[in-house]
Amino acid sequence: MIPELIKKNTPQHRMLAVGSLAFDSIQTPAGKVDRILGGSANYFSISASFFTSLNLVGVVGDDFPKSHFEVLKNRGIDLAGLEVAKGETFHWVGEYGKDLNEAKTLSTCLNVFEHFNPKLPESYLDSRYVFLANIDPDLQRSVYGQIKKPVLVAADSMNFWITGKKQSLLQTLELVDLLTINEGEAFQLSGQNNILDAAKRIRAMGPKILVVKQGEYGALLFTDQGIFSAPALPLATVKDPTGAGDTFAGGLMGYIAHEDAGDEIFKDDAILRRAVIFGSVMASFTVEDFGFTNLLRTTHEQVQARYQEFLKMTRF
Amino acid sequence: MIPELIKKNTPQHRMLAVGSLAFDSIQTPAGKVDRILGGSANYFSISASFFTSLNLVGVVGDDFPKSHFEVLKNRGIDLAGLEVAKGETFHWVGEYGKDLNEAKTLSTCLNVFEHFNPKLPESYLDSRYVFLANIDPDLQRSVYGQIKKPVLVAADSMNFWITGKKQSLLQTLELVDLLTINEGEAFQLSGQNNILDAAKRIRAMGPKILVVKQGEYGALLFTDQGIFSAPALPLATVKDPTGAGDTFAGGLMGYIAHEDAGDEIFKDDAILRRAVIFGSVMASFTVEDFGFTNLLRTTHEQVQARYQEFLKMTRF
């Protein structure tokens, strides 16, 4: 059975996301692009907007194209929490070799993001679902602390923070219910090299729900109910993996907010399993073109058709 | 639903396997063993013996322990095609680093295997299912040519033959119905770096059914009916991956022979999907200890319980 996607715009489904909005310059075996729009908050919220309405928290410079604000608003993404600061927008330069699983960062200019100190608008404080994208764990906690009573808080992180701000990251992890993290970073964070040991260690740090992303091999979900293994869809064309992880998180969290099951989510993993598949579905669209070009032109019908492909690919 | 495993001993289910019987000296992060029993034909036939009876073709030296013959016979493995030659048994020395997905070969002494020229006993010529393990493609064809009218012929191969005997390997591939191969070797064999392109190219070489092994990430099955993605079971203990691929092939082919669906297997992939899962199930037992120690002590009940774990792990 394919879950029907009727976007929920009522306040109780509203999800808050904090992360980066950026210019990305990317080279992959499929080509090269300069200063296209990117950033974790963009990928996440565009992906999640297929399932729910959103409150966006972030900062851009005065060089950021205003036309993109309309794109986001038209998808039900609220921008009251988006600050436009004097200066330049965050700029990431990276490249991928034949192994598209790992980006090589060539330069990171934080620019306006360096002094970002998010203050949430009053209208955001009742957000029920929260996603703290891969940013400084201090910032993640600063946003978390402002929200009144979230139902479920999720976060992402990466090697940069595991190495550079481990103590702060551990404080954040104590607060979150769900962590999405790459497999290599799960090993790094836990100090383990077996995935079951790593999952056990990380879940003891706070997040009851752990999603380990394995790139082109799919994802593993660890909960009190056990393990769920989701494949990735083999694709004819993979042009640019940038944003795949955030898009994945957007589908995952978007579907969780869409179902709005409250505490049930911790007692029965059925919604989480479908959410992981929707995460993989959304990510599969992103990587087919540079940036979020393909994600923006994707339809609800295509999302449901691809969910069906995952069903067909895994039945036995 | 878990398929029931009632071992079929009737001639029409009988499967022939040709491959190596060896001494292996192995070092992994979990320990070191010297001259334990191994070889593709051993792993394959012990694994397949859970599902069907077998005709074994291979060669050992006069240093090979006769007691092992009894172990195999007691599992319904016929040894009329096993030659005992003057000299030493094939000996492989290898080691694995933390990344258990790839073995580093330290030495290979072919010994009696070097001049192996298999002549099948009369009683083997009616074998309905055939597995040509990863040996010289010339030898694979020499065995193939002696069998009267097989229902399904499967083969395995590796980088060594892709690099060193490509033309002969291509001649073998024209004859086989099913190929199992590692993902990296699928890329190497096809000259492609996208898995869909690689699968298309390899299936055009002969094998209508292609199984791409992805180690700890599972396996992909490509048929005329589409793609099936099977996960691997995350395991608490992985001591030694040696023989995992051959054990996988044993579960896969063993279940196919067990079902004995004839030409139906090319028209409906339901049996193949379950066969891939049984392959993963059997491999999961092998890697839990050195050599085939754990495989030999595994019960039918454990096999079916683990099949159930795969079902639980993949439902959504």
pLDDT tens string B9-34: 666 668 999 999 999 999 999 999 99
CA gap B139, B26 in Å, rounded: 26
CA gap B92, B38 in Å, rounded: 9
| Among B106, B90, B111, residue whose Cα is nearest residue B40 | B90
pLDDT tens string A85-144: 999 999 999 999 887 878 899 999 999 998 999 999 999 999 999 999 999 999 999 999
Q: Are B151 and B129 in contact (CB under 8 A)?
A: yes
pLDDT of residue A84: 97
If pLDDT is split at 50, 70 and 90, which confidence band does A3 have?
A: confident
Do the interacting molecules here have an ipTM over 0.90? yes
The three-point CA angle B256-B259-B261 to 5° equals 90
Q: Report the side by side order of strands in the sheet with B129-132.
A: B77-85, B54-61, B15-18, B129-132, B152-156, B178-182, B209-213, B219-223, B226-230
Residues in chain B: 316
Beta bridge partners, A28, equal A31
- Whether B5 is in a domain gets the answer no
| Among B280, B283, B300, B304, residue whose Cα is nearest residue B240 | B283
CB-nearest to A226 from B228, B229, B312 is: B312
Question: How distant is the Cα of B311 from the closest Cα of chain A, in angstroms?
Answer: 8
- Whether A1 is in a domain gets the answer no
- Whether A229 is in a domain gets the answer yes
pLDDT of residue A7: 67
| Among A15, A182, A188, A207, residue whose Cα is nearest residue A102 | A182
Residue with tokens 């019987």: B21
Instruction: Report CB contact under 8 Å: A316, B230.
Output: yes
- Whether A230 is in a domain gets the answer yes
- Whether A191 is in a domain gets the answer yes
Consecutive H or E run containing A237: none
CA gap B316, B312 in Å, rounded: 9
Instruction: Report CB contact under 8 Å: B312, A234.
Output: no
- Whether B93 is in a domain gets the answer yes
Question: How distant is the Cα of B234 from the closest Cα of chain A, in angstroms?
Answer: 7
Q: Are B8 and B259 in contact (CB under 8 A)?
A: no
Q: How many domains does chain B have?
A: 1
Residues B162, B213, A305, A277: is their CA dihedral positive or negative?
Answer: negative
| Phi, psi at A291, each rounded to 5° | 60, -145
DSSP state of A216: G
Indicate the pTM of the whole model.
Answer: 0.95
CATH code: domain of residue B156? 3.40.1190.20
Q: H helices then E strands: how many in chain B?
A: 11, 13
Contacts of B98 in chain A (CB under 8 A): 193
| Phi, psi at A30, each rounded to 5° | -90, -5
Beta bridge partners, A103, equal A96
Instruction: Report CB contact under 8 Å: B313, A227.
Output: yes
Instruction: Report CB contact under 8 Å: A231, B238.
Output: no
Q: Are A4 and A12 in contact (CB under 8 A)?
A: no
Q: Is the pLDDT of residue A14 over 90?
A: no
State the amino acid at position B190 in one-letter form.
Answer: S
CA gap B282, B264 in Å, rounded: 24
Instruction: Report CB contact under 8 Å: A220, B234.
Output: yes
Mean pLDDT of A161-174: 97
Mean pLDDT of A17-43: 96
The mean of the pLDDT values for chain A is 95
DSSP state of B194: S
| Among A39, A20, A90, A13, residue whose Cα is nearest residue A291 | A39
Query: Can you list the residues of chain B whose pLDDT is less than 70?
Result: 1, 6-13
CA gap B32, B242 in Å, rounded: 12
Instruction: Report CB contact under 8 Å: A218, B238.
Output: no
Question: How distant is the Cα of B299 from the closest Cα of chain A, in angstroms?
Answer: 22
Residues in chain A: 316
CA gap A252, B92 in Å, rounded: 46
Structure tokens belonging to residue B15 = 């499967």
Residue-number span of the structural domain to which A210 is assigned: 11-314
- Whether A5 is in a domain gets the answer no
pLDDT tens string A234-266: 999 999 999 999 999 999 999 999 999 999 999
- Whether A6 is in a domain gets the answer no
